[in-house]
Structure 1
């Protein structure tokens, strides 16, 4: 089948019959038509001029190319002259297929806006076209498909095809629907399906071949190509075969790997076809006995891919291609490939660890390293190893750099595919990061629009920047440009509108975040403008707040973003940084498991029956983040406090809800409170969870957002009513504060001063300026952020603490509190009623034990430091010896004696000595040397005196104190006369450390410092003797000091 030009709009040539529509003025309503070819479709950019092909010679040229099966020529004719389309087939040696002259009842017929494709080839088979549903056959008009010797199918006048616009292969079924009239039916009845028999004839004797943008450009006359900017106001869409994708070349090796191994790794750059052609071929070839689950990181990408693959099969989503995302499930018994988002796969594994009926799990875009993807892969590996040795895993990634996949899956073969080879022209426009981003990006956008045809994709950090740039561009864009935002919070209709092609005669400017980096093809994009920034969540363990940080992207992200411009043809990328900065970018962004809050991971792991550290994860999460998540789960009542990461019955119930543990706790407890008489609290909880699962922004009271959004939340809330087993009801919003306290027991705040609140979790934070909750005595902090000045509250709800305590007594506890009164420098003790770290009431506690008093005193010592203890020369020397012993004799178990360790271990070494004390002045009577020795385990006190003695005995018998200091050699200060006859330098630490000898004059002033006595006697001594002999003539200065008698007295007392 080919498209031909019929100059007169009538007639027949070579057994071909033509379809011609009513004539229109040149250029009016001209649109691009999709052309189908190969075994599937992708969309490519091709220039389509809203211009008539002039002259019969040109027409005949394109007609000749079309007869040869040239898809590029067919596309051009469809673009340039849609009112003169013809469909022709030729079967040499057989009678021709008759397609009678058809009239169109409206502009939606053949050759107008949506003809749904002209050519389809199924391998070596050929297909015929099911005409557009906009056509209604009149009396005497017919479409007949016949094969010699086979039954004839004729759809007569007054019938409409029930699958209009669909290309059908030989042997497929096509339905007809009676519209009235006297049409002839030779096969079947109204509403029944007619089966198209095998045709098998060649199309004009020529095979079809794929088309590229370069092919299409070469078909245009040079004059029209040079003037294309004058005529082009949008990118015309041409469809080219999926069979041209790079992934095709590795499919045999990949399928062999899947057949012969349980785990396979596929590395394929953007545009290779790993998310489209690969799963499509797995379904078409029916290679696996069970279903295929493909994991996508984002809902938008999952929906887009599911719809695309279903269209390739001529079906709707829910048939062979299924979709399951949060709040939406479209599957059936016929589903062979189910595309899911990450949280969905984790819940599937939790509910059925064997994944019954599933043959293959595909992890797409694994290089993004989301927390859910890491978790789901770990669970799938454990399922494969322990329950399903026949379960196959395919991990697909654009890059393997920096990942240990080959270590995690050591037996998995690695298959590598090339990317699509369209060149990208890079332009660097460094931005000044000290100035507003939006005007700088906007200037580059306007530059790109003026310099290049086609649509633009602009990457920005977040929604705020998108809105501000859109406002800046208002009134500055050319008339033919349509601006479309694209980010996660947009409703699905707006997101879908952003990824669809620009209307005829227009260009599109899409402003997006990193949501469009991967697994998403946006129609008509040939230019990318990249701000070089992204916004990522980072959990601060100390404050317990997840903050959104705006930071430079990694090289991998920069490559992904630029690839959007070269996905379907040569492209252009503008980068708002320099080429030098490009070289310095980090290779990869850190995985979520190292930077994000881990409460959900811990809950999932505990439900799975494992500790986090036992899971086969690519990266182990920080121990501090795991401990923080565990503390929160214990406070929510989901995990036992013993430290074994085991769930309570409430925790198992919370895990089944499939939402954040905080919100699950809210839902679970609301159901109990409704049964206890708090009418309406379940309805409030269902709507509130639906609201809180959205990305809340701004600074506002929660109740205001709740009532403002309630109408839009009904569908989402219905899901939670169903999970709770209750009927949907209206929400009044009277229990919002109480519900939030259940979810955030660590964020109940009490006003301290101004806008600063002390939270029950122990941290302090400020309301953002101008917040509606300003001045409230108590509130719940729901949405928080952090900057260099500390934590800030954005979304909050006022509460009455007394009422909260009355309704939720489980949040309140009583404790004995002992602390150090800094002002009075004494122990203070109270019995307190507390909500977390918030003190609701207190009264003095007088009956303290001696140990309790001592512990309180230790708190005062910790705050002030060790200098408050009564150290003297002896105790300081002993402390220095102990520190040196740990350094010089590391294998003997010496305890740490640095200040930080001593302060941390006060209870072990100092508490027995201060028990019963209540004031600092009582510390004066402590013997610190005795306390330190008492803290040493046996036999270290004796070993210390042997290896690191406190004194050195000189040859005269004098005991000289050794000065120890960590990091330096020990020193002995001794008069030179007392060392006569001492050739060897004395040592400590079993001879490992030599003493430094500080030789003194008779007046106790240093003469020489040496660590080699023998060298000193043989060398420098002679100079010292000459100088000192005249100054101290009464003292002994022998000529040969090594043979002289050591002495402590003068020559006279020596009898000399």
Structure 2
């Protein structure tokens, strides 16, 4: 046809064989699940075919020479979980069509848009897609949405799928929806996309390029990852493996590492080994890089390349020229401590599925090789799949999106349910921000915060901070926090100033975007409410404290050395040395700074980022700025109240009027008259901590308690339990003296014996049930010892002559301690008759020579009991 461009020359990719089935499925049902392994072309050729921009053999209106008017014409929106993949996919599709990005192929990421009226396929991040859906659930101007990389279970992808399913069901049944996954586990997605019956599934054959596998575990033992810390010996091993791969195979090398810090370490190590002399260039690829830097990585040259990347290169992205993959086998995963307000990341072993995804990078363009920095046996022990984000992430942004969408979380068609505790924590945060009401519905403020395009915490800090420090500085600090720039140091104020000097392009673009968002929301904050000019230090502290109020921290006056002094305090553990000072956050978490940190000694800190590794008592500060204590109290909101508690150091009640900021005690002064109920509770806590030693026990009261304990063991009801646990569990038995006590000295004056008698049963006498003494055959009263399991009667052996029966108390045989004339133990028995008939003869032989003045008859029944010598018996 006149004026129609010639059809593009399509790359020979496996997805082409599956495109007719894909188009047919969409034509019949409006939905499809596309299962295509890495490198098959699902991210680029499938959207072009769905938009009708490339010929598809076997599809309606097919022509071998041109795209005809009869082919389906759609406006397609492709959602990618990562910004770098979004731009790369758009560039690749435009190149296939022989065009520049911004014509028929466009894209939009945070702060950057390239599209026009002619755009038919637009690639966006899932965050951009969610914002569009919330702004207009009908998604006008879009005929079909492709959710790419669904298998990775990013939280925003799961959310977008739920929202789109509801849009199709209620508002636009004609809106097409395709879920693209790189794994064969597609049953979940066919059920979610289907309307009563599963959506059709279309599969593509994988690339057939062979990939040789090399297992390269470290020769020496390295420690497992700990939080964000990785054993420094492991990056060295990765660098060594890269050098081996460089010598063994041809092509560019893609190295997977968990984060930017590990990328820097491996890059430094390789640079020291003179890779320049080998004609090799080293590139870094991670999320905080600028678009221009990312583009450089995507261009091949005359020299071999080593590309050190995070998992952003794991899928949706083909780095040209790569034939070798070196996989460190580590991944950064979300970690959230809801109770202490410390969301962040932790380093873990990559799953088998993730390792397979990474390995697929080596075989996209031809035969390749994979070097895994762990053993094959260890690989078999790794988890099959990574945990979905929704199971382990901070859900604050998700919960606000759901509130703005208007559907209860429980009714959303999510691939998996969110943890109830995480949702509750998110709702508590949003209520504190004024973003949702008590019923969980989005407020006008919440909708305004959602439109800022950042986490609700940062949106709140941006809006409220602009009113205090001005829009420019608020946007600059919020942009810094939103880009998650992890510097070598922990002084965020220094990093801010460095970005200004270096004119960081990505940061500047983010500042402009946030400034526009403020202006659109009518929250430009031209003048500060507090004063006309606010310095950088106060501006940074203000924005951080508004974003993370529970992370404001005060230096502890008597802080003990933090766990991990020296290196981390554990042999073989890696990580930065920490300083001795410890801060306490509003949420109650301890925090420490790295050794020689410029933050050391700061009385107050506003902490932007901290790493609280599992099993560690204190979090390691990653980014913070000093803050004035009064400003902290003003921003977070302090309170004044009575604090009556048990002081373990003084071992007494401490009553004070305390000014506090959450778990932080700002100041205090003694309180003369305290609430009696609070005093009683403090004394009860002291009793639980100190035990019965808090009371003053006379010998008489001790013996009474022992007798009562014996009665409880031997008889049971109605005798009360007087064990430590029972007596410290409550204080009723100490009344009426307890309720009048105000301090430890009052407690010590309680007559414990009289208090114990309050527990005696009225219908049974203690002297009858457990007499204090028993009469022995001589007629003497001997005291019974009830301190052991059985009552004990200590008596001289001669005093028991003639006795046959062992005494009993409450039916329990008394344990007789038979003593020598000098009062030393000779025998212990609970069966006196057996003793006389057996062991007594041995005792008699030994003792008659030692104590000749005392009687030792051969027949103990033949003489009367006595405590006297033979002379006195005459």
Change (3 A) 1:829 1:535: same
Q: 1:267 to 1:908 in 2, by over 3 A?
A: farther
Which residue is 2:280 aligned to?
Answer: 481
1:585-637 deviations in whole A, cap 9, x for unaligned? Answer: 21111111222222222222232234544433223333333333334334444
Match of 2:598 among 772, 792, 796: 772
Does 2:27 correspond to 1:259? yes
CA contact (8 A) 2:35 2:186 kept: no
Query: Does 2:362 match 1:565?
Result: yes
Q: Describe the shift of the 1:914–1:412 C-alpha distance in structure 2 as closer, same or farther (beyond 3 A).
A: farther
Asked whether the equivalents of residues 762 and 837 of structure 1 are also in contact (C-alpha less than 8 Å), the reply is yes
1:275: how far off?
A: 0.8
Relative to structure 1, is the Cα distance of residues 926 and 703 closer, same or farther in structure 2, using a 3 angstrom cutoff? farther
Does 2:512 align with 1:718? yes
**Match of residue 658 from structure 2:** 832
Query: Unmatched 5+ residue regions in structure 2?
Result: 54-69, 223-231, 528-532, 560-579, 696-704, 719-724, 762-809, 816-832, 839-874
| d(CA) in 2 for partners of 1:320, 1:300 | 20
Match of 1:638 in 2: 435
Distance of 2:270 and 2:716 partners within structure 1:
70
**Alpha-carbon distance between aligned partners in 1 of 2:738 and 2:269, rounded to the nearest angstrom:** 69
| 1:325, distance to aligned residue in structure 2 (A) | 0.7
Shift of 1:555: 0.8
Give 2:825's aligned residue: none
Q: Are the equivalent residues in 2 in contact too, given 1:283–1:336 (CA < 8 A)?
A: yes
Paired residues of 1:914 and 1:923 also in contact (CA < 8 A):
no
What is the match of residue 106 of structure 2? 322
The answer as to whether partners of 1:783 and 1:793 remain within 8 angstroms in 2 is yes
Deviations 1:994-1049 (A, max 9, x none): xxxxxx999699xxxxxxxxxxxxxxxxxxxxx99x999xxxxxxxxxxxxxxxxx
Q: Residue 718 and residue 250 in structure 1: after superposition, are their counterparts in 2 closer, same or farther (change >3 A)?
A: same
In 2, the alpha carbon distance for the partners of 1:925 and 1:554 equals: 66
SS in 2 for 1:590: coil
CA distance in 2, matches of 1:525, 1:546: 35
What are the within-5 Å matches in structure 2 for residues 60-459 of structure 1? 171-172=2-3, 241-242=10-11, 244-284=12-52, 291-401=75-185, 404-409=188-193, 411-413=197-199, 414-431=201-218, 432-434=220-222, 436-459=233-256
Which moved further from structure 2: 412-421 or 644-653?
644-653
The CA distance in 2 between the partners of 1:694 and 1:553, in whole Å, is: 24
The alpha-carbon distance between structure 1 residues 610 and 443, as it changes in their structure 2 partners (threshold 3 A), is same
In structure 2, the CA distance between the partners of 1:910 and 1:312, relative to structure 1 (3 Å rule), is farther
By how many angstroms is 1:479 displaced?
3.4
Cα 1:858/1:259, change in 2 over 3 Å: farther
> Cα distance, 1:705 vs. partner?
1.6
2:786 is matched with none
C-alpha separation between the residues in 2 aligned to 1:840 and 1:392?
A: 58
Aligned equivalents of 1:634 and 1:819: distance in 2?
Answer: 31
Check conservation: 2:352, 2:382, Cα contact below 8 A: yes
TM-score, length-normalised on structure 2? Answer: 0.70
Give a deviation string over 1:463-491, Cα, whole Å, max 9, x none: 22222222222214553322222122222
Partners of 1:879 and 1:606 lie apart in 2 by 63
Question: Given the alignment, which residue of 525, 539, 550 partners 1:746?
Answer: 550
Distance 1:928 1:722 in 2: 75
Q: Which residue of 2 aligns with 1:656?
A: 451
Q: 1:515 to 1:379 in 2, by over 3 A?
A: same
1:269 to partner: Cα distance = 1.1
CA distance in 2, matches of 1:262, 1:173: 28
* 1:364 Cα deviation after fit: 0.5
Q: 1:433: how far off?
A: 4.5
**Is the contact made by 2:148 and 2:180 (CA closer than 8 Å) also made in structure 1?**
yes
CA distance in 2, matches of 1:394, 1:429: 39
Per the normalisation by structure 1, the TM-score is 0.59
Q: Which residue of 2 aligns with 1:608?
A: 405
Which residue of structure 1 lines up, in the alignment, with residue 869 of structure 2? none
The answer to whether the Cα contact below 8 Å between 2:330 and 2:349 also exists between their aligned partners in 1 is: yes
Tell me the CA shift for residue 647 of structure 1: 4.2
1:855·1:915 contact (CA, 8 Å) conserved in 2? no
Return closer, same or farther for 1:517/1:880 CA change in 2, 3 Å cut-off.
farther
* Maintained 8 Å contact 1:913/1:926: no
Secondary structure of 1:652 counterpart:
helix
Higher relative contact order (CA 8 A, sep 6+): 2
Q: CA deviation at 1:830?
A: 3.3
Q: 1:152-182 deviations in whole A, cap 9, x for unaligned? A: xxxxxxxxxxxxxxxxxx73479xxxxxxxx
Q: CA RMSD in A?
A: 4.3
Tell me if structure 2 keeps the 8 A contact 1:267–1:417. yes
Which residue of the partner structure matches residue 598 of structure 1?
A: 395
The aligned residue for residue 812 of structure 1 is 638
Secondary structure of the equivalent of 2:319?
coil
Aligned-residue offset at 1:343:
1.3
**Partner deviation per Cα, 1:889-921 (whole Å, 9 max, x = no partner):** xxxxxxxxxx99x98xx9999999987765674
Alpha-carbon spacing, 1:881–1:647, altered in 2? closer, same or farther (3 Å): farther
For the pair 1:577 / 2:405, whether they are aligned, the reply is no
Q: Does residue 686 of structure 1 match 2:454?
A: no
| Alpha-carbon separation, structure 2, partners of 1:859 and 1:593 | 40
SS at match of 1:256: helix
Q: SS at the partner of 1:672?
A: helix
Q: How do 1:626-1025 and structure 2 match up within 5 A?
A: 626-640=423-437, 642=438, 644-673=439-468, 681-696=470-485, 697-710=487-500, 711-712=503-504, 713-725=507-519, 726=524, 733=536, 734-752=538-556, 753=559, 754-787=580-613, 789=616, 790-805=618-633, 808=634, 811-845=637-671, 848-860=674-686, 863=689, 873=709, 918=742, 921=747
* Residues 262, 412 of structure 1: 8 Å contact kept: no
| SS of residue in 1 equivalent to 2:98 | coil
Distance 1:928 1:627 in 2: 47
- Structure number, greater radius of gyration: 1
Alpha-carbon shift at residue 855 of structure 1 (Å): 3.9
Distance 1:1001 1:582, change over 3 A: same
How far 1:659 moved relative to its partner?
0.6
| Greater CA drift, 601-610 or 294-303 | 601-610
Partners of 1:715 and 1:564 lie apart in 2 by 31
The Cα of 1:301 is off from its aligned counterpart by 0.8
Separation (CA, whole Å) in 1 of partners of 2:311 and 2:472: 35
- Cα distance in 2 for partners of 1:509, 1:856 equals 64
1:720-772 deviation per Cα after TM superposition (whole angstroms, max 9, x unaligned) = 22112149999962522222221221122211144211112211111111111
Distance in 2, Cα, partners of 1:881 & 1:569:
85
**CA shift in 2, pair 1:868/1:404, >3 Å:** farther
Match among 494, 510, 513 for residue 293 of structure 2: 494
What does 1:45-56 correspond to in 2, within 5 Å?
Answer: none
Which moved further from structure 2: 592-601 or 582-591?
592-601
Residue 520 of structure 1, CA deviation: 0.9
What SS class does the counterpart of residue 331 from structure 2 fall into?
Answer: strand
The aligned counterpart of 1:209 is none
Unaligned runs of 5+ in 1: 1-169, 175-195, 201-238, 674-679, 883-898, 934-999, 1006-1026, 1033-1056
**CA deviation after TM superposition for structure 1 residue 318, in Å:** 2.4
Q: How far apart, in 2, do the equivalents of 1:857 and 1:818 lie?
A: 10
1:859 CA drift (Å): 4.2
Residues 570 and 727 (structure 1), Cα distance of their counterparts in 2 relative to 1, 3 Å cut:
same
Query: After superposition, what is the alpha-carbon deviation per residue over 1:674-702, rounded to whole angstroms, capped at 9, x for unaligned?
Result: xxxxxx52221011112222222222422
